[in-house]
Amino acid sequence: MVSATEIRLNRIMRKGRMLCIPMDHGISNGPIEGLENPADTIYKCEGHGLTSVIINKGILKSLPKPPKIGTLVHFSSSTALSLSPNRKMLTGTVKEAVALGADGVSLHINIGGKEEPEMLEQLGLTADQCHRWGMPLLAMMYPRGENIPNPHDPEIVGHVARIGAECGADIVKTLYTGDIDSFSKIVKSTPVPIVIAGGPKAKTDLDILQMTEDAITAGAKGVTYGRNIFAHKKPEKMVQALSEIIFKKGTAKEAMKRIE
């Protein structure tokens, strides 16, 4: 018997893999490059291999027409103007996500700082609501705070990813550690699909494509790249290139041809 969660997961992933653009930056950083008009970017990329987007509820409500891809509504935010930018607060409920027609819920959880306990509580309670409503939960699990000397330390990343799974997330988004061996161990010790974050804008297109190839080789189920897609000169071409790696097991060098 198919569950509601499985039906919705099938909308935000394709054959168990994910190519997603997180576009929730408008609350934290404002209308940054590439997100002046989120709808334009969504419609430009949706026919090129993209499986889903992560957007805030106000953007979802303002879309001129329903997207052809899965949508996750992001319900935790802070701003760069705050005295506590790492303190993410809830901005919606799972019931609201259902009413909006979303296919999933996304939360951002920072581990390693003084704000951690509050966000862990938010994660646990939201996971409970998601399970009741059959709504997939993607947890953005970041090592970030006063107690994190190196956010890419494999032991720390592994712990942070496991926290997301232990608290009930259906998909965990976290940082790539930088090498296949260490990340493959993290994938094996996390009992839900892992997708990787893109981080700051990469220096070259090949850099982000190579990181994608390595992460997929290590067992990641996909990527959630923001600036490296929406701030690209040709975001739809970057989506095509990433799709080549994620869904067709292409190499980074082969995928570069999609951009060039």
Return the residue matching tokens 């993607």. Answer: 138
Query: Does 184 show up as a binding residue in the annotation?
Result: no
Query: Does 27 show up as a binding residue in the annotation?
Result: yes
Catalytic residue among 88, 103, 170, 173: 173
Query: Does 176 show up as a binding residue in the annotation?
Result: no
Query: Does 59 show up as a binding residue in the annotation?
Result: no
Per-residue three-class SS string for 90-151? ECCCHHHHHHHCCCEEEEEEEECCCCHHHHHHHHHHHHHHHHHHCCCEEEEEEECCCCCCCC
Catalytic residue among 103, 142, 205, 214: 142
Q: At what angle do helices 235-248 and 252-259 cross, to 10 degrees?
A: 150
Return the residue matching tokens 């869904």. Answer: 247
Query: Does 17 show up as a binding residue in the annotation?
Result: no
Query: Does 104 show up as a binding residue in the annotation?
Result: no
Q: At what angle do helices 154-166 and 180-188 cross, to 10 degrees?
A: 20
The rounded distance, in Å, linking the Cα atoms of 139 and 64 is: 28
Query: Does 43 show up as a binding residue in the annotation?
Result: no
User: Percentage helix, strand, coil, to 5, in the chain?
Assistant: 45, 20, 40
Query: Does 30 show up as a binding residue in the annotation?
Result: no
Query: Does 145 show up as a binding residue in the annotation?
Result: no
Return the residue matching tokens 């070259």. Answer: 204
Query: Does 112 show up as a binding residue in the annotation?
Result: no
Q: Respond yes or no: is residue 173 known to be catalytic.
A: yes
Query: Does 26 show up as a binding residue in the annotation?
Result: yes
Active site residues: 24, 142, 173
Residue stretches of the annotated binding site: 24-28, 142-144, 198-199, 226-227
